[in-house]
Chains A and B, each alone.
Chain A
Amino acid sequence: MDSKISIKDLSKSYGDVQALKGINLDIESGELFGLIGPDGAGKTSLFRLLATLLLPDSGSATLCGFDMVKEYKPIRNILGYMPGRFSLYQDLSVLENLNFFATVFDTRIEDNMEMIRDIWLQIEPFKHRLAGKLSGGMKQKLALCCALIHQPKILLLDEPTTGVDVVSRSEFWQMLKSLKAKGVTIIVATPYMDEANLCERVALMQDGEILSLNTPAGIISDFGRDLYAIQGKDIYQLLLDLRTYPHANSVFPFGQSIHYTDKRDAISPSELKDYLISKGQYDIEISKITAGIEDCFMALSQQNKVQA
């Protein structure tokens, strides 16, 4: 079954703010696709356009072969959309919410149990609790159930794991994997770079543009430079000193260490260490590491800014 999405030159602006600047993207049937980017990158705007809630300024997109603007009616039948903000009825119980959305889609819970069983089993013990009284993770599971109740072919999840604890997050991704196995095309937007590795392909977004589109491994292999993690006693002073180092390409704080790339292709860590010691740093450890998605994102966004 064909449930691919193709987006061509899609642009959208709100007043003077250009939220999307000519997005081109093709997502294959049954793919688990990740849109990674910070807040304000345009992820939600892209979702709301695909969910037929917004009209584009220019460009077009087709979902399962249906045009986003002209054929929005069939799209609403095949699309599951989970907004970033919890938007089920808080004053209805879990079961009432699910029943309501099943009815709106002209179907019944029983007919679609197969689709939602794994998730439903986890929230069934709370089925008579009001949706507003659920914990964050439970709310997201319920929202996912409601988005799946009509067996959509395409599932749009806008920051489904924001504000959810670590255990629930990994459970949530497990569920997405099993949904993918059922042939649903899933697009997940997330500001968490670590979740990118869980997707088949990711698009890194910033300021309404796609910086890079590849598999997570592909994005990392495109990084191209040697990356060093540098640790020291006074992280802030270390950061300032590294930035003044003439050969420094990029310096970013990263947890307890600083990620550093050099302008030269080959560098000797001992030379860098000597420089830092001359600046009065001590207890310095420099180790070469492999880049993560976040490093790639930082590098790409810096490149993008320099070009702009």
Chain B
Amino acid sequence: MTAIDPTAHLTAEQIEELGRELDAIRDEVLADRGEKDAAYIRKVISAQRKLELASRGVLLFSIFPPAWLLGTAGLSVAKIMDNMEIGHNVLHGQWDWMRDPKIHSTTWEWDHVSPSEQWKHSHNELHHTYTNVIGKDNDLGYGIMRVDEDQRWHPFHLGQPLWNFINACFFEYGIAAYDLELGKNLRKRRRKDPEFRARARAVGRKIRKQVLKDYVIHPLLSGPSFLTTLAATFTANLVRNLWTHSVIMCGHFPEGVQVFERRSINGETRGQWYLRQMMGSANISGSRAMHFMSGNLSHQIEHHLFPDLPSNRYAEVAVKVRVLFEKYELEYVTGSLPKQVFSAWHKVFRLSLPNRKPKVRTPAPEKELIAA
């Protein structure tokens, strides 16, 4: 957190006006949402399925190196598409308006070890509501890291670059554990809670299915290519994990992103909620392909402002949102993928050590304003 509040220059009236302007941007998209958008998501889903089928087909012959490379690359991309542009966004309810039971947040399941039901709770309800509020939003370091000076240091954090790297490699398992709130629930008292046990069993079942498919059935189907297909699916999962972890780190960890105190959100108005999302998220700039492969989470700011708008609309929304940032003299945190990944990792390293100077806790003016 910066000591100087970057929103201090805004009056309460201005913040509400900002909220109204953002509502208007949202309404414009809603009024225009229709056939083309539906065609878009169906095309993406169809392309993903064909790519996955083709890649797994090629991997039946993965004993031949070119087939291995091609199949692994294809499967990696298919898994990323499934998790990002399709899974994440469908589970947000971005496509619920189509009323297609096959593309609906309540029926969708993704190629991921965390069951969609649990992920929706921890992600949609907790993270998106309490974005960047210390003590409320566990996405701030996933409970294993310190990503802001205002989070209390613990010797455990000395190892956080390593924890983060391990988490990146096995990111889907990290998310499953996180959705289960494993850290909290493994304590003795909670371990026997029937609700937790039911959820843990659901995760167990999902893991079993995923592992069976990727590491047993498809390798077996490959016959003589058993080992190479096993290596291919493992690699594809690893690539997917590293990629999604990188994209998601860039959403809230880069320098310049603000965090908020727990009490600052008491009685928060719609305008203030919008402002928190604007200041608490960071974008990634890049090509259309990069935006697509990130599931349009490269438009993290727009996604946090309007989590249920179809992802294919974030690019056009971003143009209008950026104008508002300029109008209200706010910093639009964005940068290329390498720059933002470096920035986030830099923070992970820097904050593994305690703060240099004990920070003087003066209530920043912005906090007063938001609490008002």
A binds B: no
Using a CB–CB cutoff of 8 Å, the interface residues on chain B facing chain A are none
Using a CB–CB cutoff of 8 Å, the interface residues on chain A facing chain B are none
